[in-house]
Amino acid sequence: MQPIRLGAVDYLNARPLVYGLELASDLFTLRFDVPSKCASLLHEGAIDIGMIPSIEYLRGTSSYVIVDGMGIISDGPVASVALFSTKPLDRIQSIALDTSSRTSTGLVRVLCRESFGLEPEFVTMLPSIEEMVTRCDAALLIGDPALYLDHVRLGLTKIDLGEHWTEMTGLPFVWAFWAGRASVISAEARDVLIRARDAGVAASDAIADAYCGPERAALGRSYLRDNIQYTLDERAAAGLRRYYELAERHGVVDAIHAPAFF
């Protein structure tokens, strides 16, 4: 059999989910991309299982299933998905959206309507904070660029989207998960991915040290321990369903269907 082609997100928060998978080369091949690229590759059939932004599950084929029990999840502040603003929240009139993102751009639109009371202009841009906040009042950044940004030095206010979601709903937010066509995912593959997750969570300090380097290791360690969760349990699934409902209400997606798990 040909190895299953995995596409993972090239950010620190994904590393615990792929821990040790290079040793399973007879079962998987692995590549890393930004979240939007992972989704495109899965939709095109260039990978078999992708760590896709949660909103992209609704934009793919109806044969997609989610690998049960795993995801990139926050329950409160996420630290790595935020608006960086030059103005107070209630005065924001334009927002630059990171091209790397799919789920987070949808969440911004939901929060603007449901929580912030804003109707801003949205401008899609490459994730360059200086250019984004020159063009717009606020900028959405995700992943490592958002985590590492010294917003205080730049005179920006950081508005954590995970924190605002949980304050609004009382639920976790599911940012991404493994998904693919049901015909590709096997019980063996699922079990190997679960074992990688468990080993990665146990080794999160070592992962942060290796990934972040000495200057950012402490930040990486606390981020993986305190901000990110990797178990997609029933509470997280309820948060996912709530996001889908609000995404449909506000035109982020045309239609929704219940998540299917393998």
CATH superfamily of 81-169: Periplasmic binding protein-like II (3.40.190.10)
pLDDT value, residue 69: 96
pLDDT value, residue 23: 79
pLDDT value, residue 238: 98
Q: Do domains 4-73+173-249 and 81-169 have the same CATH topology?
A: yes
pLDDT value, residue 70: 97
CA distance 128 to 204: 28
Largest Cα–Cα separation, the chain: 57
pLDDT value, residue 1: 73
pLDDT value, residue 215: 96
pLDDT value, residue 145: 97
Helix (H, G, I), strand (E, B) or coil at 132: helix
Calculate the average pLDDT of the chain: 96
pLDDT value, residue 62: 78
4-73+173-249: in CATH 3.40.47.10:
no
Q: Which residues of the chain have pLDDT under 70?
A: none
pLDDT value, residue 16: 98
Which residue type, as a one-letter code, is found at position 43? H
Enumerate the domain spans of the chain. 4-73+173-249, 81-169
pLDDT value, residue 212: 98
CB 98 within 8 A of CB 141: yes
